[in-house]
Amino acid sequence: MNKKHQRALETDFPIQQLSELAQQESWRKEVNRPIYHIHKWWATRLGSIFRGLTLGALSDSTTDIWRSFYERHDLSDKTVLDPFMGSGTTLGEALKLGARAVGCDINPVSTFAVRQAFTRADEASLREAFDQLEASVAREIRRYYYTHDRETGESIPVLYFFWCKMVRTPDGEELPLFSRYVFAQDAYPKRKPRAQIVCPNCWSILEDRYDASALKCPSCQHRFNPQDGPAKGQYVTSKDGSRHRIKNLLPLDGQPPRHRLYAMLAVRSNGEKVYLAPDERDHALYAEAAQRLASESLPLPTLQVRPGHNTNQARGYNYKQWRQFFNDRQLLCLGLLLREILRIEDVRIQEQMLCLFSSTLEFNNLFCSYKGEGTGAVRHMFSHHILKPERTPIENSVWGMSKSSGTFSTLFESRLLRAKRYLDAPFELEIERDLVGARTGTRKTIASSPLDPKCVSDWEDLMRASQGVMVLNGDSAKLPIPDEAIDAVVTDPPYFDFVHYSELSDFFYAWLSPVLSDRYPWMARRDSSDPGEVQHKDARAFSRQLARVFSECHRVLKPDGVLAFTFHHSRPEGWAAIYDAIETAGLAVVAAHPVHGELRGSSPKAAAKEPISLDAILVCKKRSVVRRGSGQVSSIHRINEIEAELTGCGMMLSRNDLFVIAAAQELINAAHEVLSYDEMADRLASLRAELFELDTVAVGRSTVRAAV
């Protein structure tokens, strides 16, 4: 291939420097790239990686990506496409480089959130709208989140209510689904061993060590082991020792299990936090909220929870309607807030507040749990990639106060305003080092001009805009873009057996669709799914779906343009599906760059035996400009090369990480051949088996014994 037509991304990529930077960014993604976290989306990629990726995809082979990383760029003659825009990472990074951006997603929640992320709204107007809401509805909401101080009798605000699911045995015994009776402890309990414990006999709250195994309740003298609750796995044990399968004890009327309120965390007037057991007045306040809910006419969800891979566990606990994911107090307060937001006359500001409202839902439902003290207190409902029913949910305060997390008022400051400020001053993280090169910290560096893109939905309008972003909703296999008009396609496609986005996004769509369906046709669908979405548990079907989109990318891509995307998978069939889609679309992989993708501490990764922390950037060009031939590189040799680079910045690689490196290299090797899906799957399966037979030793790094 003529080097004149090569992109920088084809020849080299600063994987060590960007992986080190990405690791730093990933600790606080919502702080370091706030525009992509204005609303929940799944598998949001790291902005620093995508800045480097996009820069490399738009620059010629003489460009040093790392040297240019912190420079300001004017790539206004370039246009970037992301056919799976998700949270909008590619769009934002392209705009920051001065390029035009086109994003399309088949999911309406993604489209709505991305539009709000790139909409300019001055802070004064947002604060004015927030102040109006505070004056009109905040007091109404807050009154349902108060209790009385048991010592002084004064009214004090409640941060969190603690609930427990209850089931009834055939003998009529009601059992709480506690796995242990310790319900609140510090994130670092060995340093701060104090913990809160509920008595299983009288339900009073006592304080002792987090690991206490023998206690006597001071209120009722009952002796018990706080570590030994009745619920273990899928079973619950009665007082007489008989075991019952929990699902066999669910209510016969088809409703979700009953919840019992057993504790509260309140804030005294002096700022002290105190755990309290609820009394009659607390139960009466909840009953008042439930009674008012029945009498109010509020914009509440009516959408059913459809069967699916990510929803079946919730449906198995009788959660068949999205409104059942909230208790009566939450429904009332969320409904009151939404009704008031819809009265904001300025549609632009109203939709910013609607986006904030929808984001708040993630932290205010019965699938949230308590992280404990010393950290962000509320574990949001999507910490798992399935809708896992929470047996001991935490009820947050919808409006919130200064000590809250995940509430409307706190997210207004930490998510919405932070995202709008980022548009004014889009910064990059930069690692600071001492004279010998040791890392000493990070600083923020402004490396882009302020973002004020004109949001359009027509190609001609995009071409006329000095700074434009075209945000589309629909099937990316049918784009309203001329032939050979795009300089680079940069994306992160879905994984065939991972998260089925529309099943989860229905949670938000159930609230947004009824209030936005008159404005946007894509918000008027039955649910957030679409027949054209690329998502399937069968690898071959997934490959066919993805090939449709990649073929469309081939059509709109300029002859010398690149399609670059991130991917990782632990299974050979996942990689074979990707290869098959690329080949079917008339493309070929010409380069691969493994980089840091996600922290292993995330819930799904933490549970894996061999967690993947790498993404492979796969760089593709049109098959017509790539010559088939020799020049293959040993996958094991490539592992040793990449590993040496990445362990140099402190990464420790699992065997699945090594497979990501090797599988990506095999896709490059396959560009010189013509393989079927089965042939590629067999080759990758043999490669994985070989890797998992090799010795791997973790001593600050992962070492692979040479196999060649």
If you ran DSSP here, which 8-state letter would residue 77 be given? T
Query: Is this prediction's pTM over 0.85?
Result: yes
Amino acid, single-letter form, for residue 320: K
The residue among 125, 5, 27 whose CA lies nearest residue 431 is 27
Q: Do 587 and 687 form a contact (C-beta atoms < 8 A)?
A: no
Average pLDDT of the residues in 492-500: 75
- Given this model, what pLDDT does residue 453 score? 93
Q: Do 166 and 175 form a contact (C-beta atoms < 8 A)?
A: yes
**What's the longest Cα–Cα distance across the chain?**
84
Average pLDDT, the chain: 91
pLDDT in tens, 13-24: 999 999 999 988
With b meaning 16 or more CB within 10 Å and e meaning fewer, what string describes 232-268? eeeebeeeeeeebebeebbeeeeebbebebbbbbbbe
pLDDT in tens, 175-224: 999 999 999 999 899 999 999 999 999 999 999 999 999 999 999 999 99
Q: Do 145 and 396 form a contact (C-beta atoms < 8 A)?
A: no
pLDDT at 703 over 70: no
Average pLDDT of the residues in 30-51: 92
pLDDT at 45 over 80: yes
Determine what percent of the chain is predicted with pLDDT higher than 70.
Answer: 94
Average pLDDT of the residues in 415-441: 91
Structure-token pair, residue 515: 């209030």
Task: Measure CA of the first residue to CA of the last residue in the chain; give whole Å.
Answer: 30
- Given this model, what pLDDT does residue 116 score? 97
Determine what percent of the chain is predicted with pLDDT higher than 90.
Answer: 72
User: 433 or 395: which carries more pLDDT confidence?
Assistant: 395
Cβ neighbours of 337 (radius 10 Å): 23
Q: Do 59 and 65 form a contact (C-beta atoms < 8 A)?
A: yes
Distance of CA 96 to the CA centre of its chain: 23
Please report which confidence band the pLDDT of residue 512 belongs to, taking 50, 70 and 90 as the band edges.
very high
- Given this model, what pLDDT does residue 605 score? 44
Lowest mean pLDDT among 260-264, 404-408, 539-543: 539-543
pLDDT in tens, 600-623: 444 444 445 677 888 999 999 999
- The three state secondary structure string of 649-671 is CCCCCCHHHHHHHHHHHHHHHHC
Structure-token pair, residue 271: 């700022």
Helix or strand holding residue 231 (H, E): strand 231-232
Separation between Cα atoms, residue 441 and residue 154, nearest integer Å: 45
Q: Do 283 and 261 form a contact (C-beta atoms < 8 A)?
A: yes
Average pLDDT of the residues in 284-304: 97
